[in-house]
Amino acid sequence: MAEAQQNWNAMPDEDFRQIFRTWADANCPAELRFMRKQRPLYEEVKVWYQALADKGWLSPLWPQDYGGMGLNPAKHMIYVEEWARLGCPRIPDHGIGLTGPLLLHYGSDEQKEFFLPKILTGEHVWCQGYSEPGSGSDLASMRTTAVRDGDDYVINGQKIWTTLAHCANWILLLVRTDKDAKKPQQGISVLLAPLDLPGVTVRPIPNLREEADFCEVFFDNVRVPVSALVGEENKGWTLAKTVLSHERIFLGAPTRPEYALARLQALAEARGAFNDPAFVSRFAKLRLDVYDLGSAFERFARVLRQGGELGADVSVLKLFNTELYQRITEEMLEIVGEEARFNDDLDADDIMIDAMNLYLDSRAPAIFGGSNEIQRNILAKAVLRLPG
């Protein structure tokens, strides 16, 4: 049973920061810090997951009545900052960040009572079934169907890029329940399905880093009861787009580029690259980009700290951040010359630098969470109000 929670929001920021930092530093095992893997499996980080669960700190944003910490956005930022600063690993967090909030907003009492506690204990590990082979950026065009048959829905179709489906036991699904709807956004519903049902096949997809972060999930006449529906039938699109707006700031947090720049600097020191004026010039540009990203992040963070809400403009951070992360990792390969042919880590005065790992990893963030081109489309409409 998780510990009872205090009123964290009433606490001074620095006190909260100290308390979280001290506890996390003492409870997150050293071998899990700054993991090479961006998305470790549940089993790999179970110790950290359970420590958070026992402390009652697994779900920073859920209300305390439902076992969360009930943090406001300002305190949540501290939680995320300290987590990143200590290099704690990401945990499978679709239950905490997606299914939980969705049920809190739209779920029935029975659904909340059944599902929420099981997320907090780690008994249910969730994944997110949105994208399909023919429906990536244009998500509303998806074709996986759920057809009513008595008290069941029968699901047929395929999901893809389903992160960590191979370590999850439940999936939050977007399905088409009305093929004749006027607009593709209408006629979509949200269903909750266990992954051990007959007809479900999960197949991991190795990525460029030769790891399997994401999977294909096939549904062949899979039956779930109608109680698996969240909210109203055919109104799922609105539900699916409900992501707490303030969390979009974290896609732009300078943490990743800062980490990569520190690795580049270590590598450059070891290889004598700072003796090359051309490198110094390029490095200075990257350093200033990271610095200025911090200033831009602060501009949005301040809005949250003052109790305001973020608009669509916050995604400028995601654009800048992801493209900067790529440029930093590209520079790592630039300065090691022929050694960039190797797949393993690079020796920088006995510190091993995972340049290739970061180089490959940096391809992904510009694609996920809405590709950077989709972000630009949204900004053009929502911020610049350009004509369609």
Determine if 105 is a binding residue for other proteins (CB under 8 A). Answer: no
Q: Which stretch binds other proteins (CB under 8 A): 111-119, 125-133, 194-202, 376-384?
A: 376-384
Determine if 74 is a binding residue for other proteins (CB under 8 A). Answer: no
Site string for other proteins, 289-328 (x = CB under 8 A): --xx-xxx-xx--x----------x--x--xx--------
Our CB check for other proteins shows the closer of 68 and 73 to be: 73
Minimum gap (Å) between residue 386 Cβ and other proteins: 5
Determine if 342 is a binding residue for other proteins (CB under 8 A). Answer: no
**How many residues contact other proteins, by CB under 8 A?**
30
Q: Residue 172 is which amino acid? A: L
Where in 355-374 is the site for other proteins (CB under 8 A)?
373
Minimum gap (Å) between residue 299 Cβ and other proteins: 4
Determine if 266 is a binding residue for other proteins (CB under 8 A). Answer: no
Our CB check for other proteins shows the closer of 72 and 377 to be: 377
Catalytic option among 81, 216, 247, 334: 247
Minimum gap (Å) between residue 302 Cβ and other proteins: 8
**Does the annotation count 31 as an active-site position?**
no
Instruction: Give dist(CA 353, CA 236) in Å, integer.
Output: 44
- Pick one of 262, 351, 352, 380: the residue that binds other proteins (CB under 8 A): 380
Determine if 288 is a binding residue for other proteins (CB under 8 A). Answer: yes
Minimum gap (Å) between residue 294 Cβ and other proteins: 8
Query: Which residues carry out catalysis?
Result: 247
Binding residues vs other proteins (CB under 8 A): 280-281, 283-285, 287-288, 291-292, 294-296, 298-299, 302, 313, 316, 319-320, 373, 376-377, 379-380, 383-388
